[in-house]
């Protein structure tokens, strides 16, 4: 992705701001756990307008632009049929929240279940259990599309209440371990993904 501005911005501040922004946008998407040698994001600032902008306004604007670009990448993922947001709340640290969200985003069994429209909360608990994060695995709440399917790591509301027929799926994981949160965006794993990545020679 290439982001451009004609605002007058100090180079050092711009690098610091853009690093923070990328860590909370582009580095919060995870389609299949694989990276490419051409995965790149560039910010160019010409200063040609002569307009100065405050650091806070610049950071807020970049968050909006980069957040949109990042989620568009997930919306263009190979073979996807679902766009999945994994929001982790009440974590002991932001790093813990990211680790739990990313563990779920990279779990193939969970991604296959979402492709099949199966609200399998057991796979979510199994996935977050692999994360390097501090929380009580026996006391986690999990909601799928606003239905709490697991309460305190046991059965919750009727899983048949969950409608996964649409494109957008939301997973909410409450770790009950602190005040930090993070959201990771991913997609499902479909037949088309396997076909696209196996039916050609490089």
Residue 201 scores a pLDDT above 80: no
Q: What share of the chain has pLDDT > 70, as a percent?
A: 100
Q: Say how far apart CA 185 and CA 49 lie, in whole Å.
A: 35
**Tokens matching residue 47:** 């200063």
Contacts for 177 with CB less than 8 Å, ≥ 6 apart: 90, 91, 92, 96, 134, 135, 136
Average pLDDT over residues 40-64: 95
Q: Say how far apart CA 11 and CA 32 lie, in whole Å.
A: 34
> Nearest to residue 80, comparing CAs of 183, 202, 196?
196
Q: Say how far apart CA 110 and CA 107 lie, in whole Å.
A: 5
- With H, G, I as helix, E, B as strand and everything else as coil, classify residue 89: strand
Mean pLDDT of all residues in the chain?
A: 96
Q: Which H helix or E strand runs over 102?
A: helix 94-105
List beta partners, residue 10.
Answer: none
- With H, G, I as helix, E, B as strand and everything else as coil, classify residue 168: strand
Q: Say how far apart CA 109 and CA 126 lie, in whole Å.
A: 10
Do the Cβ atoms of 39 and 194 come closer than 8 Å? no
Domains of the chain: 2-75 (3.30.2330.10), 83-192 (3.10.20.340)
Do the Cβ atoms of 92 and 175 come closer than 8 Å? yes
Average pLDDT over residues 73-80: 94
Q: Which H helix or E strand runs over 45?
A: strand 42-45
105-136 pLDDT tens trace: 999 999 999 999 999 999 999 999 999 999 99
pTM of structure = 0.93
pLDDT at 46: 94
């Amino acid at each position: 992705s290439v982001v451009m501005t004609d605002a007058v911005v100090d180079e050092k501040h711009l690098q610091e701001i853009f690093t923070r922004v990328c860590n909370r946008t582009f580095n919060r998407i995870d389609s299949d756990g694989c990276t490419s040698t051409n995965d790149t994001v560039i910010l160019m600032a010409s200063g040609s307008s002569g307009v100065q902008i405050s650091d806070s306004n610049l950071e807020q604007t970049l968050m909006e632009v980069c957040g949109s670009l990042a989620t568009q990448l997930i919306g263009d993922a190979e073979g996807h049929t679902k766009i999945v947001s994994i929001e982790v709340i009440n974590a002991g640290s932001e790093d813990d929240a990211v680790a739990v969200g990313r563990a779920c985003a990279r779990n193939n069994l969970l991604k296959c279940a979402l492709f099949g429209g199966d609200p399998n909360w057991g796979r979510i608990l199994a996935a977050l259990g692999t994360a390097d994060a501090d929380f009580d695995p026996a006391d986690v709440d999990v909601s799928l599309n606003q239905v709490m399917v697991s309460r305190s790591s046991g059965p919750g509301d009727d899983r048949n209440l969950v409608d996964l027929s649409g494109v957008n799926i939301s997973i909410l994981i409450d770790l009950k371990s602190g005040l930090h949160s993070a959201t990771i965006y991913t997609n499902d794993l479909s037949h088309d993904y396997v076909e696209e990545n196996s039916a050609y020679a490089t």
